[in-house]
């Protein structure tokens, strides 16, 4: 021991006191007789253990919180009164494609993704230079047909005078023949002239009808070109939101080429799947409530608008109340279009949520499903 103390005293700096000596665990770094040469624990090892302890504690809290949340959610569903069914789904809106009627080049785009549009609003224009040229040609043919009708009518007027003259000559010839001052041959000639004039008049009248038909056909051509030019101006068929812009200015599209895809904000719904026992009690027009995950405190009023007539296997993406039910009926719950009319800017497609369906109309909605959005 005296030798050991000498070693420690020789390692102490000059002027060091016993109070300034390193902690005992530091002195233990010097192996004592009879001890093995194992490394002593360090402060870094302790901090690492503390770090992993904190991580494990955090994971336990997260798992515990998720389990508690799931338990509360399941418990809240079990609090629903008998006569109310529920199912998971996603809010959807009808998609409408705005397509070209004819092949052509996009000349102008007047809307973009995310824009709210009204029914009849112009969203794009196609290049119509070729149709405009054809329209001018058809209009010129209309003018030509009008001149032909006028000429045919003039010929009818002229030929009508010839018929009157031939009739007068025929009458005089008959009168003279009865008095003995005219031969039968002259009477026959005057009859032939009258018959020829009547035939020519009838032919001219037919030409008038033919010219009028040609004028009508050319007029229809003008109307057709105008309609085609108008159809190359793409408009929104309903109120809604532009979801995708598929083509750009200058692109040449075939007939039926898509330019925009929009959401019809007047037809918003959620499809849910219910087992046979519950689906059989649902009626078209039954009251429903939709609660979205993004707005958990608001119950959106809705109505049942569709019930599938055939059962199907449950889609993998849809959670069901009972894992044992393999065949489910698809039921569509639709939000009132009048309610959506003033809330079009809030419509989102794809938001997950829960639809609650009232199977028994005499059952009152629980308090958490009565907090509907303001009217």
Please report the DSSP string for 307-374 in residue order.
E-SS-EEPPTTS--S-TT--EEEEEEEEE-HHHHHT-GGG--SS-EEEEEEESSTTSPPPGGG--PPP
Residues 6+ apart with CB under 8 A from 356: 80, 84, 85, 86, 288, 289, 290, 291, 299, 365, 369
Give kind and range of the element (H or E) at residue 21: none
Handedness of CA 255, 256, 258, 261 (dihedral sign): positive
The predicted pLDDT at position 98 comes to: 95
Question: How many angstroms separate the most distant Cα atoms in the chain?
Answer: 187
Beta bridge mates, 287: 303
The predicted pLDDT at position 34 comes to: 44
Which one is predicted more confidently, 56 or 214?
214
Residue closest to 291 by CA, chosen among 283, 282, 300: 300
- The torsion angles phi and psi of 264, rounded to 5 degrees, stand at -85, 105
The rounded mean pLDDT for the chain is 80
Domains 78-94+265-369 and 96-128+233-258 share a fold: no
Residue closest to 319 by CA, chosen among 129, 77, 83, 151: 77
Question: Do the Cβ atoms of 102 and 126 come closer than 8 Å?
Answer: yes
Which one is predicted more confidently, 358 or 344?
358
Q: What is the mean pLDDT of residues 5-26?
A: 42
CATH superfamily of the domain spanning 78-94+265-369: Efflux pump adaptor protein, beta barrel domain (2.40.30.170)
Place 36 in a pLDDT band, splitting at 50, 70 and 90: very low
| pLDDT over 90 percentage in the chain | 40
Question: Do the Cβ atoms of 148 and 207 come closer than 8 Å?
Answer: no
pTM exceeds 0.75 for this model: no
DSSP 93: E
Question: Do the Cβ atoms of 86 and 321 come closer than 8 Å?
Answer: yes
* CATH fold for the domain made of 96-128+233-258: OB fold (Dihydrolipoamide Acetyltransferase, E2P) (2.40.50)
Per-residue pLDDT of 146-179, as tens digits, reads: 999 988 899 889 888 988 888 888 888 888 888 8
Per-residue pLDDT of 229-243, as tens digits, reads: 999 999 999 999 999
Instruction: Kindly list the domain boundaries of the chain, sorted by start residue.
Output: 78-94+265-369, 96-128+233-258, 129-231
């Amino acid at each position: 021991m005296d030798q050991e103390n000498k070693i420690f005293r020789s390692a102490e700096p000059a002027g060091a006191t016993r109070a300034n000596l390193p902690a005992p665990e530091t002195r233990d770094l010097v192996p004592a007789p009879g001890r093995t040469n194992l490394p002593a624990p360090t402060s870094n090892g302790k901090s690492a253990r503390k770090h992993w302890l904190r991580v494990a504690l955090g994971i336990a809290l997260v798992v515990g919180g998720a389990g508690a949340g799931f338990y509360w959610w399941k418990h809240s569903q079990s609090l629903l009164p008998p006569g109310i069914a529920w199912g998971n789904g996603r809010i959807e809106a009808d998609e409408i494609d705005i397509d070209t009627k004819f092949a052509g080049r996009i000349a102008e785009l007047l809307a973009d993704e995310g824009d709210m549009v009204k029914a009849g609003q112009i969203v794009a224009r196609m290049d119509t230079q070729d149709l405009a040229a054809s329209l001018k040609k058809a209009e010129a043919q209309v003018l030509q047909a009008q001149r032909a009708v006028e000429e045919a009518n003039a010929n009818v007027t002229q030929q009508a005078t010839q018929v009157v003259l031939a009739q007068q000559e025929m009458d005089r010839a008959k009168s003279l023949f009865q008095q003995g001052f005219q031969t039968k041959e002259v009477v026959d000639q005057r009859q032939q002239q009258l018959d020829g004039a009547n035939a020519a008049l009838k032919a001219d009248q037919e030409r008038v009808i033919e010219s009028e038909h040609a004028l009508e056909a050319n007029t229809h051509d003008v109307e057709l070109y105008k309609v085609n030019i108008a159809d190359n101006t793409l408009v929104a068929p309903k109120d809604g939101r532009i979801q995708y812009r598929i083509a750009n200015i200058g692109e040449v599209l075939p007939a039926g080429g898509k330019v925009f895809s929009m959401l019809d904000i007047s037809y918003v719904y959620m499809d849910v799947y219910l087992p046979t026992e519950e689906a059989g009690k649902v009626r078209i027009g039954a009251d429903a409530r939709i609660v979205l995950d993004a707005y958990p405190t608001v119950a959106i009023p809705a109505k049942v608008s569709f019930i599938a007539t055939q059962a199907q296997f449950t889609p993998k993406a849809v959670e069901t109340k009972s894992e044992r039910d393999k065949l489910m009926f698809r039921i569509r719950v639709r939000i009132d279009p009048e309610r959506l009319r003033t809330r079009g800017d809030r419509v989102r497609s794809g938001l997950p949520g829960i639809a609650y369906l009232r199977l028994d109309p005499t059952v009152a909605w629980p308090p958490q499903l009565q907090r509907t959005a303001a009217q």
